[in-house]
C-alpha cells in the first residue's frame, strides 16, 4: 500500500505499518511524554488519538484530544479509548469556545498543525488562553522546504514554513521559545535478543508502534560531516515554551539486506550510468565519423559538379549537343542514321582489306 505521511489511518486494511513513518510520528510524543507525567494535557489536532493514548500510558493524569475530523475521532474512540483519555470533535481555531469551561491545561501539545491553518495567530492565541500558569507548550512544524525546492507541494498545507518563519510566527503570540529542537531520520545498529517480537514481527497493523519497547542502554553518535542536520535539511522543527526536553530516539530494526538494497540499487544505477556514458561516447564518435564522411562526399560532389559545368561550357559538348539534336530531327535524322551505318560498313570493309593485305605480305 502507498505510504502517506499526512495522517495515520488506523482502520484495518487502509494503511500498513511502515517503520520509518511510525518512528517519525511517535518521536514527537516520546519527546513530550516526560513533560506530561502527572499533568493534565491537551493534544490539539490529535488525529486518530495514538499520541494522546501514548501520553496517558506514560503517566499523564488526563489527556483531551481534539481534531476537526469526525472520522479520525471515531477511530480514536474505537482504537485508543482509555478512562483517562477523552476525544472531542472541534476546529483548532475555536479552541476557547470548545474548551472554555475546562480547567486550564498543564501541558498543550500540537504537532504538525500550524501549516494546516489559515490564521496562525488565532490558532496560537487559543492555545495560550487555555494554558495554566507556568504551563508548557510543545509545537512542531514540518520542514517542507526540501520538497518545495523540487516542485512538490502538499495539498493539505496552506503554508510552508522555514525554521525562521515558524519561530517568528510563534514568538509573535507566545513569546520566544525556551528551547528549539530538530527532528531528523537516523541510522545505526541495534543488538536485540532473538527470537523476539522486536526483530521478527510479521504483522502489518499500524498500531504496532504504540506498543514500542523501551530499551537501554543507548548511545547516540554525532552525525558524519556530510550528513549534518540543519533547519534546512531536517524533517521537522519543534519548540518548547515553559520547559526543556531531552533528546528522544525512536527507531526500528531492519535486516541487513533491507539496509543494503538501496546502496546496491545505487551502485547498479551508477554502473548503468557509466555504461550509458560509454555508449553515448561511442555514438558521438560514430556521429563524428559520419559527419566527416558527409563533408568529404559533399566536397567530392562539388568538384564533380564543377567538372560537369566546365564540360557543359566546352565547344565539344556544344557540338555533341548539336549533333544529337540534328540526329533526332524527323527528316534529317533518318538520313544521318543511314549515312552512319554506311560509313560504318565502309570503315569495317577497309579494316578487313588492310588486315588481309598484311597477312598476304607476311
pLDDT tens, N- to C-terminus, the chain (362 residues): 334 456 788 888 888 888 888 889 999 999 999 999 999 999 999 999 999 999 999 999 999 999 999 999 999 999 999 999 999 999 999 999 999 899 999 999 999 999 999 999 999 999 999 999 999 999 999 999 888 788 888 888 999 999 999 999 999 999 999 999 999 999 888 888 888 877 877 888 887 877 777 777 788 888 999 889 999 999 999 999 999 999 988 888 888 898 889 889 999 999 999 999 999 999 999 999 999 999 999 999 999 888 888 887 888 778 777 777 776 777 777 887 787 788 788 888 888 888 787 777 76
Spatial distance between the Cα atoms of 212 and 252, rounded to a whole number of angstroms? 9
Closest CA to 42 of 122, 118, 129, 157: 129
HSE, side-chain direction, 13 A CA sphere, residue 272: 6
Name the burial class of residue 90, with classes exposed (0-12), middle (13-18) and buried (19+) by CB atoms within 10 angstroms of its CB: middle
- Say which residue the cell 527507531 belongs to: 251
**Predicted local distance difference test score (pLDDT) of residue 2:** 38
What fold, for 19-253? Rossmann fold (3.40.50)
Asked if residue 66 lies in contact with residue 95, where contact means CB atoms within 8 angstroms, the answer is yes
Spatial distance between the Cα atoms of 61 and 40, rounded to a whole number of angstroms? 6
Asked if residue 99 lies in contact with residue 64, where contact means CB atoms within 8 angstroms, the answer is yes
Report the C-alpha dihedral over residues 132, 133, 134, 140, rounded to 10 degrees: 40
Residues present in the chain in total:
362
Spatial distance between the Cα atoms of 159 and 167, rounded to a whole number of angstroms? 14
**Predicted local distance difference test score (pLDDT) of residue 362:** 65
Asked if residue 141 lies in contact with residue 166, where contact means CB atoms within 8 angstroms, the answer is yes
Asked if residue 67 lies in contact with residue 47, where contact means CB atoms within 8 angstroms, the answer is yes
Name the burial class of residue 80, with classes exposed (0-12), middle (13-18) and buried (19+) by CB atoms within 10 angstroms of its CB: buried
Name the burial class of residue 168, with classes exposed (0-12), middle (13-18) and buried (19+) by CB atoms within 10 angstroms of its CB: exposed
Question: Grid coordinates standing for 244?
Answer: 526543556
Quick one: DSSP state of residue 154? -
pTM of the model: 0.75
Asked if residue 91 lies in contact with residue 113, where contact means CB atoms within 8 angstroms, the answer is no
Asked if residue 21 lies in contact with residue 86, where contact means CB atoms within 8 angstroms, the answer is no
**Predicted local distance difference test score (pLDDT) of residue 331:** 73
Question: Grid coordinates standing for 103?
Answer: 480547567
Question: Grid coordinates standing for 99?
Answer: 474548551
Spatial distance between the Cα atoms of 278 and 74, rounded to a whole number of angstroms? 59
Question: Grid coordinates standing for 45?
Answer: 489536532
Spatial distance between the Cα atoms of 189 and 254, rounded to a whole number of angstroms? 9
DSSP string across 255-324: -HHHHHHHHHHHHHHHHHHHHHHHHHHHHHHHHHHHHHHHHHHHHHHHHHHHHHHHHHHSHHHHHHHHHH
Asked if residue 61 lies in contact with residue 83, where contact means CB atoms within 8 angstroms, the answer is no
Amino acid at each position: 500500500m502507498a505510504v502517506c505521511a499526512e495522517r495515520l489511518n488506523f482502520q484495518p486494511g487502509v494503511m500498513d505499518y511502515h517503520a520509518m513513518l511510525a518512528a517519525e510520528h511517535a518521536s514527537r510524543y516520546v519527546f513530550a511524554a516526560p513533560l506530561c507525567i502527572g499533568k493534565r494535557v491537551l493534544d490539539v489536532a490529535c488525529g486518530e488519538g495514538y499520541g494522546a493514548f501514548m501520553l496517558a500510558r506514560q503517566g499523564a493524569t488526563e489527556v483531551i484530544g481534539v481534531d476537526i475530523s469526525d472520522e479520525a475521532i471515531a477511530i480514536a474512540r474505537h482504537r485508543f479509548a482509555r478512562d483517562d483519555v477523552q476525544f472531542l470533535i472541534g476546529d483548532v481555531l475555536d479552541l476557547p469556545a470548545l474548551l472554555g469551561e475546562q480547567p486550564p491545561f498543564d501541558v498543550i501539545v500540537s504537532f504538525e498543525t500550524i501549516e494546516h491553518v489559515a490564521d496562525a495567530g488565532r490558532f496560537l492565541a487559543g492555545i495560550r488562553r487555555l494554558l495554566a500558569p507556568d504551563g508548557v507548550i510543545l509545537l512542531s512544524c514540518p520542514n517542507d522546504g526540501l520538497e518545495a525546492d523540487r516542485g512538490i507541494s502538499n495539498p493539505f498545507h496552506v503554508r510552508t514554513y522555514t525554521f525562521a518563519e515558524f519561530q517568528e510566527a510563534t514568538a509573535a503570540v507566545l513569546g520566544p521559545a525556551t528551547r528549539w529542537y530538530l527532528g531528523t531520520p537516523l541510522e545505526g545498529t541495534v543488538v536485540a535478543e532473538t527470537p523476539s517480537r522486536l526483530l521478527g514481527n510479521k504483522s502489518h497493523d499500524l498500531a504496532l508502534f504504540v506498543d514500542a519497547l523501551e530499551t537501554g542502554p543507548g548511545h547516540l553518535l554525532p552525525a558524519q560531516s556530510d550528513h549534518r542536520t540543519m533547519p534546512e535539511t531536517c524533517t521537522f522543527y519543534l519548540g518548547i515554551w515553559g520547559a526543556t526536553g531531552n533528546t528522544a530516539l525512536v527507531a526500528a530494526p531492519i535486516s541487513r539486506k533491507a539496509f543494503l538494497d538501496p546502496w546496491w540499487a545505487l551502485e547498479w544505477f551508477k554502473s548503468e550510468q557509466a555504461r550509458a556514458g560509454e555508449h553515448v561516447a561511442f555514438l558521438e564518435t560514430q556521429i563524428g565519423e559520419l559527419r566527416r564522411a558527409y563533408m568529404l562526399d559533399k566536397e567530392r560532389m562539388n568538384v564533380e559538379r564543377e567538372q560537369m559545368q566546365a564540360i557543359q561550357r566546352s565547344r565539344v559538348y556544344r557540338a555533341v549537343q548539336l549533333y544529337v539534336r540534328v540526329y533526332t530531327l524527323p527528316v534529317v535524322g533518318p538520313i544521318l542514321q543511314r549515312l552512319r551505318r554506311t560509313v560504318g560498313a565502309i570503315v569495317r570493309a577497309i579494316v578487313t582489306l588492310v588486315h588481309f593485305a598484311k597477312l598476304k605480305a607476311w
